[in-house]
């Protein structure tokens, strides 16, 4: 397999529905103190897709973030990329070849390239579901690694101990009419949307001047659910980042649900390409029976449709109805809106420095995860 790779300007990153692979996201992460690089690549279709011949090529690009681990070592991180998805039997070879070329553009201190793959899990056929239609999930790590590394030269791909971005999400089809979208929801969800309206919940678009209101709701949510708390600048960077003069901008809306002027819930909606993404959410413990979170999601769906999006990403649920999973509550809430569950391959590390890879593992053990427990 031969892949031609060229470093490119961040502003020229291709337009994409994956917000984490846009020039906008590079701007966000730059504000948060991370270095970013972008690469164009070109590969023959017959080298990455089955049953394809001839001399046609795929041209695509990838955004890479550079994250320090300590004073000596760093890692490269590819959030939900690369966007193109080779056929299963070519995926490991493709990642190996791409990584070996990209490594020359990375600092010597870089231990590994972590791909947070948004490609569909290999373990999603009928045999991976139980009698109730619930996903069983992937096999043990060693079997996952054997399958993805099969056909590679160095067998350098390792399944990460945890995923950074959600590995299971729900996509809603926004090409349907509003009535059709409503009819795909569970009856209880439709009822709660109507109840929120009846109770007088109002949703409005707000700006940076209301970021402190968002942050108060966010901190309350984090403490209630045992979540790690980011600082307010983390969210300000998402709201203020501008990439309008680039090939891959994004539109951000901070939506606030109120009752008689009292803030009850808020979400960040990000629109990129043909997709709207529910990125962050927060809610108060007060007046939860007024269903402000349902009103927010319905308004976000309508806004995304208004801007021409044909897909809505609910962004993160538990892999199935497992009551013990920390994201089970999100599964209950988000599946009520209909749509289809999608299981990603999740995070994979391509080792550049096997001897010092332990520093990456140590940094993960010491780092604060999304959930405190």
Q: Which residues is 59 bridged to in the sheet?
A: 42
pLDDT at 367 over 70: no
CB atoms within 10 A of CB 314: 25
Closest alpha carbon to 218 in 249, 252, 254: 254
Residue % of the chain over a pLDDT of 90: 84
**139-168 burial, b if ≥16 CB within 10 A, otherwise e?**
eeeeebbebbbeebeeebbbbbeebbbbbb
CB atoms within 10 A of CB 198: 10
Measured CA to CA, the distance from residue 58 to residue 117 in angstroms comes to: 18
C-beta separation of 292 from 196 below 8 A: yes
Query: How is the chain split among helix, strand and coil, in percent rounded to 5?
Result: 35, 30, 35
More confidently predicted of 162 and 165: 165
Name every residue whose Cβ is closer than 8 Å to that of residue 261 and which is 6 or more positions away in sequence. Answer: none
Specify the pTM.
0.93
Measured CA to CA, the distance from residue 132 to residue 331 in angstroms comes to: 16
Closest alpha carbon to 164 in 35, 344, 357: 344
pLDDT at 365 over 80: no
Q: 59: which 2 tokens?
A: 């041209």
pLDDT in tens, 97-115: 999 999 999 999 999 999 9
Q: 151: which 2 tokens?
A: 């056909």
Angle at 69 between CA 64 and CA 72, to 5 degrees: 110
Give me the chain's average pLDDT, please: 94
pLDDT at 366 over 80: no
C-beta separation of 205 from 239 below 8 A: no
Map tokens 């992937």 to a residue.
138
Average pLDDT over residues 274-303: 97
> Band of the pLDDT at 372, cuts 50, 70, 90?
very low
Alpha helix ranges (H) inside 120-186: 141-149, 178-184
As a residue count, the chain comes to 373
pLDDT at 157 over 70: yes
Measured CA to CA, the distance from residue 238 to residue 269 in angstroms comes to: 10
Average pLDDT over residues 296-322: 95
> Band of the pLDDT at 206, cuts 50, 70, 90?
very high
């Amino acid at each position: 397999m031969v892949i031609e790779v060229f470093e490119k300007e961040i502003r020229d990153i291709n337009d994409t529905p994956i917000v984490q692979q846009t020039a906008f996201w590079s701007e966000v992460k730059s504000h948060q103190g991370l270095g970013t690089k972008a690469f164009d690549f070109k590969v023959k279709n017959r080298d990455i897709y089955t049953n394809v011949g001839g001399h046609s090529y795929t041209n695509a690009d990838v955004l890479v973030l550079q994250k320090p681990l300590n004073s000596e070592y760093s890692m490269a991180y590819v959030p939900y990329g690369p966007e193109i998805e080779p056929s299963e039997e070519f995926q490991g070879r493709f990642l190996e070849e791409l990584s070996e070329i990209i490594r020359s553009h990375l600092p010597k201190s870089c231990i590994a390239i972590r791909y947070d793959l948004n490609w569909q899990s290999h373990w999603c056929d009928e045999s991976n579901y139980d009698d109730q239609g619930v996903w069983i999930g992937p096999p043990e790590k060693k079997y996952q690694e054997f399958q993805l590394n099969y056909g590679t030269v160095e067998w350098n791909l390792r399944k990460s101990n945890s995923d950074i971005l959600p590995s299971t999400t729900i996509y809603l089809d926004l090409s349907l009419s509003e009535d059709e979208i409503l009819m795909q929801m569970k009856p209880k969800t439709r009822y709660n949307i109507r109840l929120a309206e009846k109770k007088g919940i109002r949703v409005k678009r707000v700006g940076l001047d209301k970021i402190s209101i968002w942050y108060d709701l966010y901190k309350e949510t984090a403490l209630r659910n045992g979540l790690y708390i980011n600082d307010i600048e983390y969210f300000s960077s998402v709201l203020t980042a501008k990439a309008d003069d680039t090939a891959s901008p994004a539109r951000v809306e901070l939506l606030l649900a109120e009752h008689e002027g009292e803030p009850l819930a808020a979400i960040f909606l990000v629109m990129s390409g043909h997709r709207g993404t529910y990125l962050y959410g927060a809610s108060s413990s007060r007046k939860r029976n007024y269903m402000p979170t349902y009103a927010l999601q319905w308004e976000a769906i309508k806004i995304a449709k208004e801007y021409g999006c044909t897909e809505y990403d609910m962004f993160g649920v538990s892999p199935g109805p497992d009551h013990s999973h920390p994201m089970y509550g999100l599964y209950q809430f988000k599946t009520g809106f209909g749509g289809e569950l999608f299981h990603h391959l999740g995070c994979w590390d391509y080792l550049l420095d096997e001897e010092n890879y332990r520093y990456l593992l140590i940094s993960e053990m010491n780092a604060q995860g999304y959930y405190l427990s």
